[in-house]
Structure formats: C-alpha cells, structure tokens
Chain A
Amino acid sequence: MTQLFWEDFVEGSVADYGPRLVTSEEIVAFAAQFDPQPMHLDAEAARATMLGGLAASGWHTCALMMRIIVDGFLGRSASMGSAGVEEVRWLKPVRPGDLLTVRATVLEKRASNRRPDRGSIKFLMEVLNQSGDVVMTLRSPLMIGRRPAGDAG
C-alpha cells in the first residue's frame, strides 16, 4: 500500500473510519486501569451519576479514536506524532454496545518553517455512534513527513 505523505492530504477533505464496537468488558477494563470511577466500572453505581448508566471513560473514547484513525489512515502515513491536542469535547456518553466511527476533516495544512522534511495537518475528529450522534470532538495538529525528493508517490 502506498504511504501517505503531507502532500497527499487535502484541506477540506472529509473521510470516515471504523466502525468499532465498544463492549462493556472493554469499558470496565480500561476504567479499572486508568479511570477507576464507579460510573465507568459498574452499571448499578453508574445509574446514580450524571451519566445515568455505565459509560466509557472519556480518555477511553480518545484512545479508541486513536486506534480507529491509526488503522484508518495514520498507520500508512509518514506519521511523526503530534505535539498536542487543542480541544476535546465529550458530548454524549459512550455506552456498551455502541458502534463508533471517526469522521476526520482536514482543517488546515501547514509546512514547517524550521524543518523541511515535515508539515502539520490540523484535523477535526468527530466520533459518532450508530445513531449518528456526535459523542466527542477533537481538534489536533498531526505532524506528517513530507514526500522525499525522488519519490514518485
């Protein structure tokens, strides 16, 4: 499969990746390791909270989003990681049995001033459930390597 370089991304492009099923076992396993609050661990305890029932940790949703996009396009890109995330909004609970897709919009491309071998791509990632609800949004610049000279692509 051809590798994607910074040049291959188009501002304004939108693509969907996934879907990925989220099971209650996974929700509890992630929460037990990284976010051990009752609302992410136990359906009974979760009912009494603002989430109204067992829901994934927002950090788990972020991690799932990452897996979906690495599988979807980043794994075959000249990815150089990311310096950070501008904003994440956790809008709706992610429930056991939800099917998540990630809609990736290329907001902006910027070549690096200091490093000619890379550029940044600012993405909007929207995580949607099976009903089409947006459960999370994320805005982040990813660093992608530029096509090496002599690479016909």
Chain B
Amino acid sequence: MRYFEDIQVGGAVVLGSHTFLADEIKAFASQFDPQPFHLDEAAAARSQFGGLCASGWHTVAMWMRLRIEWGRRDDADRRARGEPNAALGPSPGFRNLAWPRPVYAGDTITYATEVVETRLLSTRPGWGVIFSRCTGTNQHDDLVLSFLGTGFVERRP
C-alpha cells in the first residue's frame, strides 16, 4: 500500500471475483441473516427476490476479503520492487451502501475500488483518511453493491 501522500484520486482497481454458491449462501445466512430467502430455494422462489440470494452482508463481506487479498498481493509486489508499504488502519465506517440487485446462487461478482477523496486529520497525526467508492458487479455487468468506504492510511514517516 502506498503512503497516504502518494495516493491519488481516481484509477479504479479490480480486486477480484467470487462465485456465490448455494451452500455458502446458506451457511452465511444461517449464522448471520437467517431469513427464508437466504436459506431455502422454495421460500426464496416465493419471495419478491424470485430465487435463493445472498445476504447483502455476505456480498459486502466478500468485498472486504478480496480487498485484503489484493492488498497482500500489492504489498508483496511493492516489496519485490524495494518500495515501502504503508499500514492500513481500521475504518471508522461507511456510507451510502446500496444493494441495487440481488446476488443469486451461481452469480459471479467482480469487486472493485476507486479512491474518490483523501483527507488529513488534525486528530490523528501520522495518518490520513481515504474515501473510496467500492463496488460489486455481476456477470451481466449489473451493479449489485456500492458503498463509500473510509480507511486510515499511514503517512510517509
């Protein structure tokens, strides 16, 4: 990860893709979102979703996993080039999360992120905040997820 000062607005990064299988949709839902349309094909078919679909929290948790996996690969590439890596701090939250379309069993979601704003904080010297538009798109190019994420990034020492 680049230091805060070297991060520029723009330039969408594709993080990776994940195919949501029925078993994993049900496993996540049974733990965290046990509603019929996330657990049972027949109940889901009767619902307004029309078919078994993933909990929105599952869809967004997968964004996070692919973001961290991408970050590890990016850090390794930078190390190989002799470039330093900034620490990524915890996030204070997110805004404007939308789930415009369901993620159905069998859908492949491609996740991406794009920096939209960077900001310094007087309260946290040594860290800056980056705001990113984070998205998920299915195999038909339909948007299934978008949110404005925030995260702390270390400043250049």
Chain A interface residues (CB < 8 Å from chain B): 33-37, 39, 49-51, 55, 57-59, 62-64, 66-67, 70-71, 74-75, 79-90
Given A39-B90, A83-B100: A34 touches B35 (CB 8 Å cut-off): no
Q: How far is the CA of A11 from the CA of B37 in the complex (A)?
A: 27
Q: How far is the CA of A80 from the CA of B57 in the complex (A)?
A: 15
Given A36-B65, A59-B57: A67 touches B92 (CB 8 Å cut-off): no
Q: Which residues of B from 29 to 46 have beta carbons under 8 Å from A?
A: 31-35, 37
Enumerate chain B residues within 8 angstroms of A79, measured Cβ to Cβ.
35
Chain B count of residues within 8 A CB distance of the other chain: 36
**Shortest Cβ distance from residue B43 to the other chain A in the assembled complex, whole angstroms:** 12
Enumerate chain A residues within 8 angstroms of B62, measured Cβ to Cβ.
34
Q: How far is the CA of A36 from the CA of B35 in the complex (A)?
A: 27
Given A50-B89, A83-B99, A88-B93: A75 touches B35 (CB 8 Å cut-off): yes
Q: How far is the CA of A87 from the CA of B31 in the complex (A)?
A: 23
Chain B minimum-CB-distance residue to A70: B34
Q: How far is the CA of A36 from the CA of B61 in the complex (A)?
A: 11
> Any chain A CB within 8 A of the CB of B98?
yes
**Shortest Cβ distance from residue A104 to the other chain B in the assembled complex, whole angstroms:** 16
Surface stretch bound by A, among B7-15, B47-55, B114-122: B47-55
